[in-house]
């Protein structure tokens, strides 16, 4: 029997997203209309709308597996960022491009940076097939961001981090916002950083457990 992805999208939004206090109409509309199933491997399309992180690339060549973030924390992070229609957004660790597609419905333009060449290629293909014209996918180290098109009004990090790299704060516009889940597992907190008068402040948003982005792991310090 063919999966009814439209029905699954409605159930995802009504059962996973709205129930966690996401009220932003533009976010809800984007998640209701964009085919999340197109951004996951063919063998996992039927799982595209489950309420957990979904693997989109297995561990290989010494690199850890990569995941599509669970719908609820993803939507809540977007709401925390307060993306506006005129914003230039940097999407860090875009994976197969789902976050980029959603952001493209909220912002003026989205620069998506991805370090995995296969994922970047897949993101380009799917975004083009969906007619997302206000996006650009670039390949490079996630912690470096993409300075060539900075400064950004919003920087969105697609996974848990130990700490945010200074290069990303440098690429924030005045009044710009950066959102990330800082810490792993039950110790993870969705965090909003805001740059004002050249200084970056932060505040906790909500507790969140999402899969980490390995490039943002802090190197263990040597202790006597």
For residue range 30-68, what is the model confidence (pLDDT) as tens digits? Answer: 999 999 999 999 999 999 999 999 999 999 888 899 999
Interior angle at CA 85, CA 92 and CA 134, nearest 5: 55
Q: What is the pLDDT of residue 61?
A: 83
Q: What is the mean pLDDT of residues 116-122?
A: 96
pLDDT (tens digit, 9 = 90+) per residue, 24-33? 999 999 999 9
Q: What is the pLDDT of residue 79?
A: 98
Using alpha carbons, select from 159, 181, 182, 179 the residue that is nearest to residue 169.
179
Q: What is the pLDDT of residue 223?
A: 52
Q: Where are the domains of the chain?
A: 5-216
Residue 21: CB atoms within 10 A of its CB come to 11
Structure tokens at 211: 């899969």
Overall fold of domain 5-216: Rossmann fold (3.40.50)
3-state helix, strand, coil split of the chain in percent (to 5) is 35, 30, 35
Q: What is the pLDDT of residue 143?
A: 97
Please tell me whether the peptide bond between 151 and the residue prior to it is cis, using omega within 30 degrees of 0.
yes
User: What band does 221 get if pLDDT is binned at 50, 70 and 90?
Assistant: low
Half-sphere exposure (CA, 13 Å, Cβ side) for 122? 19
Q: What is the mean pLDDT of residues 107-132?
A: 97
- The answer to whether residues 209 and 184 touch, using CB atoms and an 8 Å cutoff, is yes
Task: Give residue 202's region: left, alpha or beta (phi > 0; psi -120 to 50).
Answer: beta
Alpha-carbon torsion (145, 149, 154, 158), positive or negative = negative
Taking 80 as the threshold, does the pLDDT of residue 1 lie above it? no
Q: What is the pLDDT of residue 28?
A: 98
Average pLDDT of the residues of the chain = 95
Taking 60 as the threshold, does the pLDDT of residue 222 lie above it? no
pLDDT (tens digit, 9 = 90+) per residue, 62-94? 889 999 999 999 999 999 999 999 999 999 999
Helix (H, G, I), strand (E, B) or coil at 179: strand
């Amino acid at each position: 029997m063919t999966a009814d992805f439209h029905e699954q999208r409605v159930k995802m939004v009504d059962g996973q997203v709205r129930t966690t206090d996401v009220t932003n109409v533009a976010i809800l509309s984007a998640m209701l209309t964009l085919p999340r199933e197109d951004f996951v491997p063919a063998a996992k399309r039927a799982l595209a709308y489950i309420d957990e992180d979904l693997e989109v690339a297995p561990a290989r060549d010494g690199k850890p597996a990569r995941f599509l973030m669970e719908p609820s924390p993803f939507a809540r992070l977007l709401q925390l960022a307060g993306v506006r229609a005129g914003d230039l957004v940097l999407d860090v660790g875009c994976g197969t491009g789902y976050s980029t597609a959603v952001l493209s419905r909220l912002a003026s333009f989205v620069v998506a940076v991805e370090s995995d060449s296969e994922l970047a290629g897949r993101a380009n293909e799917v975004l083009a097939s969906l007619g997302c014209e206000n996006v650009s996918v670039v390949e490079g180290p996630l912690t470096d961001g993409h300075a060539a098109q900075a400064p950004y009004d919003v920087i969105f990090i697609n996974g848990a981090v130990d700490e945010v790299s200074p290069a990303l704060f440098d690429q924030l516009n005045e009044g710009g916002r950066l959102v990330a889940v800082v810490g792993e597992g039950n110790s993870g907190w969705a965090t909003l950083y805001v740059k004002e008068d050249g200084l970056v402040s932060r505040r906790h948003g909500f507790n969140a457990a999402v899969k980490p982005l390995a490039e943002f792991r802090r190197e263990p310090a040597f202790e006597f």
